[in-house]
Amino acid sequence: MSAGAAFADVAIALLLVAGGAFAVVAAIGLVRLRNFFIRMHPPAIANTLAVWCTALAAIVYFLVHEGRLALYVWLIPILLSITAPITTAFLSRAGLFRERQRGGDVPPPPGRGST
């Protein structure tokens, strides 16, 4: 094993550990944050970082050990980065609707506020 391959293996291991740490932070955020609206955003960001770290580790692995550039691995984090904000917007709208139905302390719908 060459020095470059050993360095790449260390980099891959660090990226995978970082991805796992981000995933654990996301899970802890889901448990510890106090309500739905606070709970939505930080775990999504941490989970997205976990996926990016894992994808980068896979690209480095295929480049060093198999000698090919596996750019198709980027499809997963790119699609996740596109769809995560859309999903968050839909979840927040649904949460606001449910809180309004229960009479919770949330802003009124657009166009129905007090003037």
Domain membership flag for residue 76: yes
- Domain presence at residue 65: yes
When pLDDT is averaged across residues 26-35 and rounded to a whole number, the result is: 87
> Residue 74 belongs to what domain range?
3-102
What is the spatial distance between Cα 47 and Cα 84, in angstroms, rounded to a whole number? 10
Structural domains in the chain (count): 1
DSSP state of 74: G
- Which of 8-17, 31-40, 73-82, 93-102 is predicted most confidently? 8-17
Residue 31 predicted with pLDDT over 70 = yes
Specify if 88 maps to a domain.
yes
- Predicted local distance difference test score (pLDDT) of residue 107: 78
The answer to whether residue 111 sits within a structural domain is no
Give CA–CA dist 91/76, Å, rounded: 21
State residue 114's pLDDT score: 56
Q: Is 44 left (phi over 0), alpha (psi -120 to 50) or beta?
A: alpha
Residue 113 lies in a domain: no
Nearest to 8 by CA among 69, 53, 57: 57
User: pTM of the predicted model, to two decimals?
Assistant: 0.77
Is there a domain that residue 97 lies in?
Answer: yes
